[in-house]
């Protein structure tokens, strides 16, 4: 399947499409991403994407991990993308939900990433949206 030029991101010196599948977990893999915390995390992730002009293609929040498929621009590295989502969400969630202060930090320092091409993006999106996380 061939993409149209309008499907790609344009900037003054480049044309392309960067999509990454990110997965990260709470510290000690605690199942804390439930109820109001889960809902607020989804809001924060979507707001980070809007603020950065990124596009959330798919999001699944399980009680003990997060899967995110995000299209981002060429000005940021994958590490910066992960840091933006994990950093802001940790700060806001720990301010708003004091029970999360029991953990030494909300997120573990590690994360999984996988860059995607035009064929695998659809497969990863289907994987994230599969209800196997519950």
- Angle at Cα 77 formed by Cα 88 and Cα 29, nearest 5°? 50
CB count in 10 Å sphere of residue 24: 20
User: What pLDDT is recorded for position 100?
Assistant: 97
User: What pLDDT is recorded for position 116?
Assistant: 80
Counting residues of the chain whose pLDDT is more than 70, the rounded percentage is: 89
Give the mean model confidence (pLDDT) for residues 5-28. Answer: 81
- Please identify, in words, the CATH class of the domain defined by 16-128: alpha beta
Give kind and range of the element (H or E) at residue 67: strand 65-72
Domain boundaries, the chain: 16-128
Per-residue pLDDT tens over the stretch 69-111:
999 998 899 999 999 999 999 999 999 999 999 999 999 999 9
User: What pLDDT is recorded for position 126?
Assistant: 85
Per-residue pLDDT tens over the stretch 26-62:
999 999 999 999 999 999 999 999 999 999 999 999 9
Yes or no: say if 37 and 104 are a contact pair by the CB < 8 Å rule: no
Q: Please give the structure tokens belonging to residue 93.
A: 């969630």
Yes or no: say if 102 and 94 are a contact pair by the CB < 8 Å rule: no
* Cβ neighbourhood burial of 72 (10 Å; 0-12, 13-18, 19+): buried
Q: pTM for the complete prediction?
A: 0.84
For 76, the 3-state DSSP assignment is coil
Q: Please give the structure tokens belonging to residue 80.
A: 């910066």
């Amino acid at each position: 399947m061939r993409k149209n030029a309008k499907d790609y991101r344009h900037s003054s010196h480049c044309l392309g499409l960067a999509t990454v599948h990110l997965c990260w977990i709470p510290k000690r893999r605690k199942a804390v991403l439930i109820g109001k915390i889960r809902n607020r995390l989804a809001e924060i992730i979507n707001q980070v994407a809007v603020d950065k002009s990124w596009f959330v293609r798919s999001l699944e929040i399980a009680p003990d991990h997060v899967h995110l498929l995000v299209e981002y621009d060429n000005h940021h590295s994958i590490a910066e993308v992960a840091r933006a989502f994990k950093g802001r969400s940790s700060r806001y969630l720990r301010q708003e939900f004091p029970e999360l202060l029991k953990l030494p930090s909300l997120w573990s320092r590690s994360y999984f990433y996988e860059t995607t091409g035009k064929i695998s993006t659809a497969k990863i999106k289907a994987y994230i949206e599969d209800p196997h996380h519950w």
